Homo-oligomer: A and B are copies of this chain.
């Protein structure tokens, strides 16, 4: 496994670095879901993580890995989702500035969330070019450090700590499932799982309507698919280069799932486990609903990636 952009040593270092700053989230099990799916599932509940998603792990690892002089100049991102909140929180914890570039039309809830966590927001026109230009200007002006939301190796290593904890808690698993957006969570999970349990099946899941990672993995060549159009808003990003390398090296299988199954999975988890998860987090469960993997009798770990949901617009009510 030499030559990969992230190693288990990086994840072990991340775990030490972020301990005390992020939660060791609980795991849940359910006899009812085990009976339904014919396997034994352990859910890692990153919906209970700080800022409500696994992104807190990678952001804290990247921020706390900075040398003090670089750290003092601050960190920058132009992500407007969970990564912006996570980076704001991590920077506040370290006592350094976080500069967050957001499109003018960002939802009020996301703006408020970043503000509450102390992020300094610069608004820009709602295009990728404008966002990247605004972020670059801040990097140039302040010599601040840009922290990529999912392809930075420190971010990937941080995300890998969730799978590490899951395996520590659950013991020997036969398979591990996570969703793929930019590839940070799936890539980090794959590195951790392959090291700790060499025979484990590493199974990626993605919405069929945002399947660029699946296409890239299958073709062995990174390419954007059609414009993503999925309720799993956290997975609309494009697979990163480091994520691509990790997925090609480490995955055993990859399934894409329908929007209907994502909505049904989200609802099922809420009804049975009594926890709130976001559509992206429901994607691995959707793969079980659709029977995409043979997991009969297996011990299965699933990373529920987050719980930030617009409760006014639940997917089973708009369909």
Contacts and interface: CB of A to CB of B under 8 A. Distances in A.
A274 B48 contact: yes
A26 B48 CA distance: 13
A274 B275 contact: yes
Contact of A311 (B270, B275, B307): B270
A314 B274 CA distance: 14
A307 B267 contact: no
Contacts of A267: 311
A293 interface: no
A7 interface: no
Given A275-B274, A276-B275, A312 B316 contact: yes
Interface in A252-289: 267, 270-271, 274-277
12 contacts: A26-B26, A28-B48, A47-B274, A48-B274, A52-B274, A270-B311, A271-B276, A271-B309, A274-B277, A274-B307, A311-B314, A314-B314
Given A47-B274, A267-B311, 9 more contacts: A26-B26, A270-B309, A271-B309, A271-B311, A274-B307, A275-B276, A276-B276, A311-B314, A317-B317
